[in-house]
């Protein structure tokens, strides 16, 4: 009865305020409704909102009925099942508070897009936003209204398998992608039944795990935390991300899931954010393993008071940390009720924002009648897949292949593979929806081209019995395309590696094929930068295709045949060896800057400092020339802005896209600064012979850094501005900031 009253008054107020300024009024209504519900909740029901159960069995159903579970981490059991479970919450629990159903929708839900590291290689945020919107629609159609994405952990260590889930090594680029992913998932208005709540994870500095070993400790300065690891989270917060997930790692001696400094001081007080913090999978429970809490009660106290609102895996044999301990802690007077109420408000607000009190059920008919057209979804997936591909090497323009080529040998364990191309975290993706490379090539090659396929070997075992066939086929064909790389389990969570070479069996296959003397193209499919020195030295054409999802085969084929001119740029440096790790462009200059002639400078005896392929790097079938870099003012006051311009000309024969990158260096500062920092980019499209003048507006915030007191400042002095097509080959000019 009470609930009906709440619902009715909500409706009346809602329809009234629609005519006026919706967002402010809506917020007020939420607040009134939340207070009304809160006043009726028992302590147990309040704690119930913090319990996230995994899947639903009889036991969990009973928890829902008793109001002891607030959200469900869910598999793909379909919208009818979601509605059935939701009905238990809405109609059978005392207060009828709806559940939120969550799933990891990372790079697509049913339609699978390229992995996030590949998405970042596209340097096309708008396209990624559209793809996330599609993922959101598909997830919502299944009843999933909450995704645990985007992962925005900066990763400068490719040994860490989760590097595939994020946007690479750079805080600026990652911040841009963090914002569009959030916007794509959440849309303009979360009450829209086709949008889902986003969750930026893993807060924070998880990507800096020592030795690249997953779940390992992190020890970094507050400066590094603020300059490198926090910005993408801040970007998500500025874009109203609904939730944030606390990480597994220990951060400077305080586990991230019990870290008051990051979870409350920064997130709540500095950033003034009022969303929901959810733990990672039992990460509050793991405070015991960290040796940070002596029992679950203490873990619950530490996690909750630091700022973790929801306990993922909150009521199973594994977890069971918040329930029943929070209730006891309140009753013992250790946690004030106001703190519980504050967190309940956050959770209820998220449910209101999602429109769940109004419309708790999946509108199955709506989704059936308004389903996005498959053609549309596939075309976005294809475009993004094409733009994610990075051309690493193309000696003597061996690519693109001529469509009239007589015969192609297609070799390698990933050439006719569907499952691995989905990669880790493929949500509800299905292997049968993946176009293999073999199929993709057949789809667009000319009628007179013979495509001969041999697997050659498996991805990672010792069986070499397929070599012979592969070599025979290679000998008979005009060109060999080798599709090699990792399987889907070799990157992602719990997939750290000490050796980043291709599995031996594949390296040997490549060498055998190479020794036939035929022209060879290597296409790599992998979730992290690999060490590919031999390939890079010997194979004339090398393509980094990452894991591209459903449209992988069509995208690779279009690039190989030149129907699409590759434009992807690396969001992460490729090391020459694991000994160079961590490796990233954003280095300090040191007191002994690298000098080849001088032994006593910062360098290795056995390797150059430089990566094999740098951040921002990627070739095209055409060439771009950068000329006339210039600033419109050579001196500015701190609060002024100026424009830097450069003329970019397509000097080759193909039309093509180029990612024009802007880097800035503060030459002398009161705190040492990186040699360069990405501060902007534009993706432009040029016809052969065409020149475009690219302008960047340089503003105060692009010149500021965290001074000694860790507050933003701009210091007078010389700034270098660099523009180019990667982080190494850059045109440079400078200007001065005056007081």
Residues making contact with ligand BGC (CB under 6 A): 104, 148, 201, 280-281, 493
Is the Cβ of residue 308 or residue 471 nearer to ligand BGC in the bound state?
308
Q: In whole angstroms, how close is the CB of 62 to ligand BGC at the nearest point?
A: 23
Tokens of 416: 């006719």
Q: Is 40 left (phi over 0), alpha (psi -120 to 50) or beta?
A: alpha
Give the shortest CB-299-to-ligand BGC separation in angstroms.
Answer: 17
* 3-state SS class at 281: coil
Range list of H helices, 142-269: 171-186, 222-224, 231-238, 260
Closest CA to 714 of 724, 699, 725: 699
3-state secondary structure of 125: helix
Closest to ligand BGC by CB, 425 vs 681, is: 425
Phi then psi dihedrals of residue 371, to 5 deg: -50, 140
Q: Which CB sits closer to ligand BGC, 201 or 512?
A: 201
Is-contact 310 52, C-beta < 8 A? yes
Look at residues 652, 651, 645 and name the one whose alpha carbon lies nearest to residue 628.
Answer: 645
In the complex with ligand BGC, which residue's Cβ is closer, 265 or 493?
493
Is 116 or 656 the residue whose CB approaches ligand BGC more closely? 116
Q: How far is the CB of 246 from ligand BGC (least distance, A)?
A: 11
Output the 3-class SS for 397-458.
HCCCCCCCCCEEEEECCCCCCCHHHHCCCCCCCCHHHCCCHHHHHHHHCCCCCEEEEECCCC
CB of 424 to ligand BGC, least distance (A): 10
What is the four-CA torsion angle of 583, 584, 589, 590, rounded to 10 degrees? -30
CA distance linking residue 8 with residue 2, whole number of Å:
10
Angle at 697 between CA 696 and CA 702, to 5 degrees: 105
- Cβ distance to ligand BGC smaller for residue 146 or 546: 146
Q: Which is nearer to ligand BGC, 73 or 524 (CB)?
A: 73
Q: Smallest distance, Å, CB 99 to ligand BGC? A: 16
Place of tokens 């002398």: 668
Q: Which is nearer to ligand BGC, 104 or 666 (CB)?
A: 104
User: Which residues pair with residue 468 across a beta bridge?
Assistant: none
Q: Which is nearer to ligand BGC, 49 or 249 (CB)?
A: 249
Q: Residue 496 CB, nearest distance to ligand BGC (Å)? A: 13
| Helix 296-306 and helix 337-353, axial crossing angle in degrees, nearest 10 | 60
As measured in angstroms, the least distance from the Cβ of 225 to ligand BGC is 20
What's the gap between Cα 252 and its chain centre? Answer: 24
Closest separation between CB of residue 148 and ligand BGC, Å?
Answer: 3
Q: Which residue's CB comes closest to ligand BGC? A: 148
- In the complex with ligand BGC, the residue whose CB is nearer, 74 or 615, is 74
Residues 6+ apart with CB under 8 A from 693: 645, 646, 647, 648
Nearest distance from C-beta of residue 132 to ligand BGC, angstroms: 16
Residue closer to ligand BGC, measured from CB, 280 or 658: 280
**6 phi, psi to nearest 5 deg:** -60, -45
Q: Which is nearer to ligand BGC, 259 or 383 (CB)?
A: 259
Give least dist CB 104 to ligand BGC, A: 5
Distances (CA, A) of 57 to 62, 74, 81, 305, 503: 9, 11, 12, 30, 41
Separation CA 610–CA 575 (nearest Å): 8
Neighbouring CB atoms inside 10 A of 209's CB total: 24
For residue 671, the minimal CB distance to ligand BGC (Å) is 33
CB of 425 to ligand BGC, least distance (A): 8
Nearer to ligand BGC, 6 or 53 (CB): 53
Q: How far is the CB of 201 from ligand BGC (least distance, A)?
A: 6
Q: CB-side exposure of 722: number of CA atoms within 13 Å?
A: 18
Three-state DSSP at 371 gives coil
Distance CA(100)–CA(360), nearest Å, equals 9
Sign of CA dihedral 641, 642, 643, 644: negative
Does a cis peptide bond (omega within 30 degrees of 0) precede residue 204? yes
Which residues have CB under 8 Å from 244's CB, separation 6+? 199, 200, 201, 203, 233, 236, 237, 267, 273, 275, 276, 277, 278
Q: Which of the following is catalytic: 157, 250, 280, 311?
A: 280
Return phi, psi of residue 112, to 5°. -100, 125
274 a catalytic residue: no
The token duo for 399 is 């690519």
Question: How, if at all, do strands 276-279 and 712-713 pair?
Answer: unpaired
Strand partners, 683: 659
Query: Hey, is 294 helix, strand or coil?
Result: coil
- What is the DSSP code string of 524-592? EE-SS----HHHHHH-SEEEE----GGGHHHHHHHHHTTSS------SS-B-SSGGG-S--S--B--SS
* Residues assigned a catalytic role: 280
């Amino acid at each position: 009865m009470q609930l009906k009253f709440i619902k009715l008054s909500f409706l009346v107020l809602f329809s009234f305020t629609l005519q006026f300024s919706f967002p402010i009024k809506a917020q007020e209504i939420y607040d009134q409704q939340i207070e009304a519900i809160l006043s009726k909740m028992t302590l147990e029901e309040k704690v119930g909102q913090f319990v996230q159960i995994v899947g639903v069995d009889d036991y969990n159903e009973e928890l829902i009925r008793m109001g002891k579970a607030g959200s469900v981490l869910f598999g793909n059991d379909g919208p009818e099942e979601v509605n059935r479970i939701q009905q238990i919450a809405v109609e059978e629990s005392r207060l009828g508070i709806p559940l939120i159903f969550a799933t990891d929708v990372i790079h697509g839900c049913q339609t699978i897009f390229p992995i996030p590291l590949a998405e970042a290689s596209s340097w096309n945020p708008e396209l990624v936003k559209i793809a996330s919107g599609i993922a959101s629609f598909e997830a919502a159609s299944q009843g999933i209204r909450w995704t645990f994405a985007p992962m925005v952990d900066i990763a400068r260590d490719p040994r860490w398998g989760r590097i595939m889930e994020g946007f690479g090594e750079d805080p600026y680029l990652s911040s841009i992608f963090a914002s569009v992913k959030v916007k794509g998932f959440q849309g303009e208005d979360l009450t829209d039944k086709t949008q889902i709540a986003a969750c930026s994870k893993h807060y924070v500095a998880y990507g800096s795990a020592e030795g690249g070993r997953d779940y390992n400790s992190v020890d970094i300065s507050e400066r590094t935390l603020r300059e490198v690891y926090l910005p993408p989270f801040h970007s998500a917060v500025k874009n109203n991300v609904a939730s944030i997930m606390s990480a597994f790692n220990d951060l400077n001696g305080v586990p991230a899931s019990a870290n008051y400094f990051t979870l409350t001081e920064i997130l709540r007080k500095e950033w003034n954010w009022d969303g929901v913090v959810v733990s990672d999978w039992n990460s509050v429970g793991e405070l015991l393993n960290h040796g940070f809490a002596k029992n679950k009660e203490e873990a619950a106290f530490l996690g909750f008071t630091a700022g973790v609102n929801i306990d993922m895996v909150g009521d199973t044999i594994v977890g069971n940390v918040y329930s029943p301990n929070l209730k006891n802690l309140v009753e013992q007077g250790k946690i004030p009720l106001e703190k519980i109420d504050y967190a309940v408000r956050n959770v209820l607000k998220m449910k209101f924002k999602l429109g769940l009190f109004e419309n708790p059920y999946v509108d199955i008919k709506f989704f059936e009648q308004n389903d996005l057209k498959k053609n549309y979804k596939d075309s976005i997936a294809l475009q993004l897949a094409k733009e994610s591909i990075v051309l690493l090497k193309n000696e003597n323009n061996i690519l693109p292949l001529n469509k009239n080529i007589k015969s192609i040998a297609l070799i390698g364990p990933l050439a006719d593979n569907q499952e691995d191309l989905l990669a880790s975290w493929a949500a509800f993706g299905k292997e049968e929806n993946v176009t293999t490379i073999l199929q993709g090539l057949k789809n667009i090659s000319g009628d007179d081209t013979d495509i001969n396929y041999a697997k050659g070997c498996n991805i990672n075992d010792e069986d070499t019995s397929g070599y012979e066939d592969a070599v025979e086929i290679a000998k008979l064909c005009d060109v060999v395309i080798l599709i090699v790389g990792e399987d889907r389990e070799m990157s992602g969570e719990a997939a750290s590696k000490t050796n980043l070479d291709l599995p031996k069996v594949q390296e040997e296959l490549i060498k055998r094929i190479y020794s036939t003397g035929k022209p060879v193209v290597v296409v790599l499919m992998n979730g992290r930068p690999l060490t590919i020195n031999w390939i890079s030295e010997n194979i004339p054409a090398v393509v980094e295709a990452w894991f591209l999802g459903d449209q992988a085969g069509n995208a690779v084929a279009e690039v190989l045949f030149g129907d699409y001119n590759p434009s992807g740029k690396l969001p992460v440096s490729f090391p020459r060896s694991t000994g160079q790790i961590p490796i990233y462009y954003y280095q300090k200059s040191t007191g002994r800057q690298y000098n080849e002639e001088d032994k006593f400078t910062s360098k290795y005896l056995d390797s150059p400092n430089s990566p094999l392929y740098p951040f921002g790097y990627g070739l095209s079938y055409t060439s771009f020339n950068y000329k006339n870099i210039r600033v419109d003012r050579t001196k500015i006051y701190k609060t002024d802005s100026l424009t830097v311009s450069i003329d970019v000309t397509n000097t080759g024969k193909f039309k093509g896209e180029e990612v024009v990158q802007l880097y800035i260096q503060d030459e002398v500062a009161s705190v040492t600064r990186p040699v360069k920092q990405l501060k902007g980019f534009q993706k432009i499209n040029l016809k052969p012979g065409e020149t475009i003048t690219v302008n960047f507006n340089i503003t105060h915030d692009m010149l500021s850094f965290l001074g000694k007191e860790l507050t933003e400042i701009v210091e007078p002095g010389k700034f270098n501005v660099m523009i180019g097509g990667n982080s190494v080959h850059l045109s440079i000019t400078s200007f001065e900031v005056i007081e």
